[in-house]
Structure 1
Amino acid sequence: ADTVKLMVSGQKVDYDEETTIDFAGFTDEEDSEEEEQHEDEEMDEDWTNKELVLEKYDLKSFSEDFMRQVIDFVDQAGPGSKHGRSWKAIHHRFRTIPNRHYIPHFRKYLEHHGTKRQKTQNLDELLYKKLIDAREKSLAVHDLDIQRWGLRIA
């Protein structure tokens, strides 16, 4: 009521608005064990198991060994088969492969001894080992040395 009277009288009114976000049941204190158990029950079970996440949400890069297993399985067709195994059989055995178009890519990667990413990861690992060996021997290592090692390894 006082605010309305001030506005009608024409006096200058300073108005400050404070907006906050209220979290239901949020406290700064430690959560009780009962609340933690309840929160754990509400969590998506798929995201708690890392292997399931990698498989289900296709967050996994296929290793060279895995690609080799898939191609070997595809090529081991029965005596009456002309075209290799069916997609249904392949997908049943290797559920992480989303579709049949991955198979020719796997063949190409195996011909070239892995994907570009796998090759760079191997190069990084070898360079890192070489760098650690040099540092353990108290040798000075410069950028040009690392570049030269990388070119030799590649």
Structure 2
Amino acid sequence: MINPYNILKLLSNFIFDKFSYNAPSPITCDEEQIARNLFNCLIKILESSSYLFESESTLDVDDESTYSDDEDSAPKTPTFKQLDVALDTDYQIIDDDFNLDQKFSLEYMKSAVDYFDEKDALTGKRKRSWTSVQHRFRRIPNPQCITRFRKYISTGGTKKHKIDDIDIYVYDQFGNARYQLLAVHDIDLRRWGLQKARELDLNSFEASENWLLAFKHRHRISSRKITQLVTRKHIESRQEIEQAAASFVDETNKVIEKYSPNEVLNSDQVGINLEPYGNRTLTHMGEQSTWSS
């Protein structure tokens, strides 16, 4: 069991060893607040069944509040004192494909830039230094990322972000089409992808065969034979069916009277559909029945 009086005695010894003795002075508000915080921490430790101490080391500096995105605004230093950028990992060029595309979402970039750019209403200057920004957004390695973030935000995100948006759009279109029992083919997926790419100004996107195969594999989409067909026009009640049949016979007889029997062909057994349709469609894997209209 931990004895708080032993802790107090040891703490007093540490203070005497570290600092020279000073004459007694009136207790200030700051000193009282510090003592109260230490007391509360000690109480929490004594009341807990287990505890873990963590330490954190930083290399923060205080003069980074003058940071600006413009390179010309940086103070000039003699040549022999300038850092070797090639050897400094904090200032090496960030690989777009690895860091920005895979580590930072577009929403994360916007939040970081907005937080960094927020200005004081009275002074008109930035409210926060780079140190405070990095303290909140710990995944950002250096200030150069903020400039890159602005670039990608202005263009609607990185290439990977746009590819992801295309993927979401095409899958939504596919899901909506299948919900309406419409047949979907490869050309439809590619057409939707190219349409979204043009909206995002991603002219390098070609909806290639590799992209198409990866899309179908990622969403478990395959080509299946249509097993259930729903006609676009249907009649609900038997009475309506009989009325429609009688009306069809009457109208047909009126037309047949204008021709000789040799000019009339019976198409009852001829395989001609009023509404032509394909017998396959792209749909989700594992469906027990594949419907189409």
Q: TM-score range by the shorter chain?
A: 0.5 to 0.7
* Aligned-pair CA distance for 1:70: 1.1
**Paired residues for 1:1-154 under 5 Å:** 61-78=103-120, 80=123, 85-154=128-197
Measured after TM superposition, the shift of residue 82 of structure 1 is 5.5
Distance 1:93 1:81, change over 3 A: farther
Deviation at 1:84, TM superposition (A): 7.0
Instruction: Determine if contact 2:118/2:126 at 8 Å carries over to the other structure.
Output: no
In the TM superposition, residue 81 of structure 1 has moved relative to its aligned partner by: 7.2
Gaps of 5+ in 2: 1-98, 198-293
Q: Which has the higher contact order (CA 8 A, sep 6+)?
A: 2
Name the count of aligned residue pairs.
97
Structure 1 or 2: larger strand share?
A: 2
Where in structure 1 do 4 or more consecutive aligned residues deviate above 6 Å? Answer: none
* 1:70 partner amino acid: A
- Distance in 2, matches of 1:83 and 1:126, equals 38
TM normalised by structure 1 equals: 0.54
**Matched residue type, 2:107:** D
2:116 and 2:126 in contact (8 A); partners too: no
Take 1:72 and 1:136, find their aligned partners in 2: how far apart are those partners? Answer: 40
SS at match of 1:145: helix
Shift of 1:110: 0.7
Per-residue Cα deviation, 1:67-99 (whole angstroms, up to 9, x for no partner): 111111111244557577432121112112122
The separation in 2 between residues aligned to 1:125 and 1:151, in whole angstroms, is 13
Query: What is the aligned partner in structure 1 of residue 248 from structure 2?
Result: none
Structure of greater Rg = 2
Aligned-pair Cα RMSD in Å: 2.4
1:134 CA drift (Å) = 1.6
Between 1:79-88 and 1:62-71, the stretch displaced more is: 79-88
Q: Amino acid of the residue matched to residue 121 of structure 1?
A: D
Shift of 1:145: 1.3
1:124 Cα offset (Å): 0.3
**How far is 1:137 from its partner?**
2.5
Give distance in 1, aligned partners of 2:126 and 2:168: 39
Cα distance in 2 between the residues matched to 1:123 and 1:150 = 6
Rate the CA distance shift 1:137–1:99 in 2: closer, same or farther, 3 A. same
Number of the residue aligned with 1:21: none
Q: Write the letter of the residue equivalent to 1:87.
A: W
**Contact 2:109 2:153 (8 Å CA) reproduced:** yes
Task: Write the distance in 2 (CA, Å) between the matches of 1:114 and 1:94.
Answer: 19
Percent of pairs identical after alignment? 42
1:147 is displaced (CA, Å) by: 1.2
Paired residue type of 1:107: R
C-alpha separation between the residues in 2 aligned to 1:74 and 1:128? 35
Give the whole-Å Cα distance in 2 for the aligned partners of 1:123 and 1:84. 37
In 2, the alpha carbon distance for the partners of 1:82 and 1:137 equals 55
